[in-house]
Structure 1
Amino acid sequence: MNVTAVVVAGGGRGEVDALTTVGGEPMVVRSVRSLLATGLIDHVVLLDVDARPDALMSACSGLPVSTRSALAHALSGIGPHVGQRAGTTAGDGPVTAGSADVVLLHEAARPFAPAALATTVVTAVRDGHEMAVPVLPLVDTVKQVDAAGLVQATPDRSGLRVLQTPLAVRGDLFDPLLAPEPLELARRHAAAGGAVHTVPGHSAAFPVRSAWDLELAELLAGRDDG
């Protein structure tokens, strides 16, 4: 099975985004390198949800990436051995269904997700699962509240999980319209009766979306680089 990798590079309207540096390196670069480190792919598509193709290509200079502002068709034609090279022209040329037997979908906002997570979810799909997503047990106590904000119940958290990326999905089940929200893709698939297989997640695959998250990420980068 061929694997097509997509990194959602968004968040340009907030205080932290795909181009924010962590440990001196943009988050999108760290996320791309993590997927390439699996050895499963040799090209990554950047889903440019904020219309910044030049900035993304500049940040990823020297890496085998291209950009798309939308994935209007089922991904294909950008398989691991198709003639894609670093510095390929960005654009929204039609990407027709065919070679993407597995789509590996990741968020640039999770720059420290280990390469092993990507390998594990792809392996799960290759083994016959429709979709695979990393999860962590929910450790915080959660409460159900009513419209007035009053606590009504304490859900049993033993069956609750926090979803992460990268996730993998069989190519023919991939919905490109949901690509900017990878975890929504998993939710919709499960709600429609599809099977979403879970694999053990990793604490380092947390999303960096706020200044607080960024501070934690910098500490992690310092530890890894030290």
Structure 2
Amino acid sequence: MSSTPPPADRPRPPRTAAVIPAAGRGVRLGPGAPKALRMLGGTPMLIHAIRAMAASRAVSLVVVVAPPDGAPEVKHLLDEHALPERTDYLVVPGGETRQESVRLGLEALPEDVAVVLVHDAARPLVPVDTVDAVAAAVRDGAPAVVPALPLADTVKEVEPAAPGEPEPVLATPVRARLRAVQTPQGFDREALERAHAEVAVDGEGATDDAGMVERLGRPVVVVPGHEEAFKVTRPLDLVLAEAVLARRRANDGF
């Protein structure tokens, strides 16, 4: 007689969850609604970002980290829009900084989540193939994974000056060794939780969870990103996002 336990008694396989910090104001897009709630093709960017994560069969839970006083509004927003039914959704209040919001999203995860994707709500058009590639690399053993693209422009390191003033060049990094990092970034849950518990960062470092894992001395690997996973930060980015979305809808009914 087989000793294999019946399916009901088997432990559930580890799950993959996506955390979307959406508590920021997005001042570079101008006054008005928070950036994540700006409309793109008649739908809030946040909904596009949630759908992008839920489109991956690897993702079984999406945790949206709302503005500290805006969780009810975001919950209502999710109820108003069609989302894949095979995915679970959770909305939690965020903090004053992105780092704090990601930590609060981590704390809301069920125990059976082993892989965590952290995705910018301002990257609403990331293709599902990119999401799948990041999740697969973590499942294959990488503590931290980032999608990234080679740079098209030469980059200069400068000594910052006052706005409008000439800035002295300090160095010219080798472009072939540089990558522009995107999201979702993927993590082994233990590595990311440890980074948030032990690493305190300020400024630009606080926007990059993989950089926090780097500071622990853990390896971070890069997988190919996608040109449509760009970040909608300025009004011109929103124009480009509208054009990409219109092309998708014309080509395949996205």
User: What TM-score, normalized to structure 2?
Assistant: 0.73
Alignment correspondent of 1:192: 216
Q: Distance in 2 between matches of 1:73 and 1:10?
A: 11
Greater Cα offset, 116-125 or 37-46: 37-46
Alignment correspondent of 1:116: 129
* Compared CA separation, residues 115 and 182, structure 1 to 2 (3 A): farther
Q: What stretches of structure 1 of length at least 5 have no aligned partner? A: 79-97
What is the letter of the counterpart of residue 17 of structure 2?
T
Q: Distance in 2 between matches of 1:51 and 1:76?
A: 17
The two structures, once aligned, show a CA RMSD in angstroms of 2.3
Q: Secondary structure at the match of 1:67?
A: strand
* Compared CA separation, residues 214 and 103, structure 1 to 2 (3 A): same
Please list the CA deviations of residues 123-169 of structure 1 after superposition, one character each: whole Å capped at 9, or x if unmatched.
11111111111010111111122356122332211101111001110
Q: Say whether residues 1:7 and 2:20 are aligned partners.
A: yes
Alignment correspondent of 1:58: 76
212, 217, 220: which one aligns with 2:241: 217
Q: Distance in 2 between matches of 1:182 and 1:225?
A: 35
* Distance apart, 1:50 and its partner CA: 5.0
* Compared CA separation, residues 43 and 147, structure 1 to 2 (3 A): closer
What is the letter of the counterpart of residue 169 of structure 1?
F
Please list the CA deviations of residues 58-84 of structure 1 after superposition, one character each: whole Å capped at 9, or x if unmatched.
222154422112444854654xxxxxx
Alignment correspondent of 1:104: 117
The structure in which a higher percent of residues are helix is: 2
Which runs of structure 2 are paired with 1:142-161 in the superposition (5 Å)? Answer: 142-146=155-159, 149-161=167-179
- Size of the aligned set, in residue pairs, is 205
CA contact (8 A) 2:54 2:60 kept: yes
Q: Which runs of 4+ in 1 moved over 6 A?
A: none
* Distance apart, 1:220 and its partner CA: 1.1
Q: Secondary structure at the match of 2:117?
A: strand
Alignment correspondent of 1:48: 66
CA contact (8 A) 1:11 1:50 kept: no
Q: Distance in 2 between matches of 1:147 and 1:17?
A: 27
* Compared CA separation, residues 73 and 138, structure 1 to 2 (3 A): closer
Question: Which is greater in Rg?
Answer: 2
User: What TM-score, normalized to structure 1?
Assistant: 0.82
Q: What stretches of structure 2 of length at least 5 have no aligned partner? A: 1-13, 95-102, 162-166
Q: Distance in 2 between matches of 1:13 and 1:133?
A: 23
